Structure 1
Amino acid sequence: MYAVIKTGGKQYRVVAGEKIKVEQITADVGSEVVLDQVFMVADGDDIKIGAPLVNGAKVTATVLSHGRHDKVKIFKMRRRKHYQKHQGHRQNYTEIQISGISA
């Protein structure tokens, strides 16, 4: 059984027991989070597709940790203009473990 959910402006295909890193969620480590924006739930040949969301479907997850991704380096340059700009960015994330999918 798997589901397609939306969190943090992105869509993820999740299965029970899977660990994923999503955009930062304001929840304490060890707490349970309910993700109710479910686009699709599939259980073998039984597929439910929402328009846009599946009514009554939810995914429960446990927050494992918070952290920051690796640094992304941004370098801008204009040739022959003596212009160079260096910048870096580290995006925050929350690691969650999917504990259950209910349709």
Structure 2
Amino acid sequence: MFAVLKSGGKQYKVQAGDVLRVEKLNAAAGEKVQFNEILMVGSTLGAPLVEGACVQAEVIDQIKADKVVTYVKRRRKHSSQRTRGHRQQLTLLRVTDVLEKGAGKSNVKAAVGARTKDDVVAAKPAKAKKPAKKDAAAEKPAADATEA
């Protein structure tokens, strides 16, 4: 039986025994993880998700993808060049089970994406500002007006 799961903004068609490369998950090698966002299981189509379905997988390793090199060159009088490289972090998984029902009863950790530094900064609550102290000079004219 196959399933279509959603992880890291992408969709994957998997069945038991498949090896899969997904966006980095917050799990160590050897751990079991469970994907709960299942779009389709066999002939059952979700609207948008199939209730109670899950795909369980074992983390093989945390890897990096091949390097992608971008080269930018500005033309004419500027003679500016820039080369950048990027290696996306991935998680290598082996799918162990595809379950149509019983996702809530299994005691397997949910597959959650790894947080980046930007997410951690955005998640911190902003410090509450203390109210500004009122100036004593500003209060005196109000007191003089009440005496008159």
**Letter of the structure 2 residue corresponding to residue 37 of structure 1:** E
Give the fraction of aligned pairs with identical amino acids, expressed as a percent.
Answer: 41
Query: Once the two structures are superposed, what CA deviation does each residue of 1:9-52 show, in whole Å capped at 9, x if it has no partner?
Result: 1110001100011000011111100000000011xxxx111111
Query: Once the two structures are superposed, what CA deviation does each residue of 1:50-97 show, in whole Å capped at 9, x if it has no partner?
Result: 111000000000000011111100111122131211100000000000
The structure whose residues are more often helix, as a share, is 2
Aligned-residue CA RMSD in angstroms? 0.7
Bigger radius of gyration among the two: 2
Paired position in structure 1 for 2:32: 32
Runs of 4+ in structure 1 deviating by more than 2 angstroms, as ranges, are: none
Paired position in structure 2 for 1:55: 51
Paired position in structure 1 for 2:23: 23
Structure 2: how far apart are the matches of 1:51 and 1:74?
A: 39
**Letter of the structure 1 residue corresponding to residue 64 of structure 2:** R
**Count of matched residue pairs:** 99
Paired position in structure 2 for 1:96: 93
With structure 1 as the length reference, what TM-score do the two structures score?
0.93
Structure 1: how far apart are the matches of 2:20 and 2:63?
A: 13
Structure 2: how far apart are the matches of 1:11 and 1:22?
A: 10
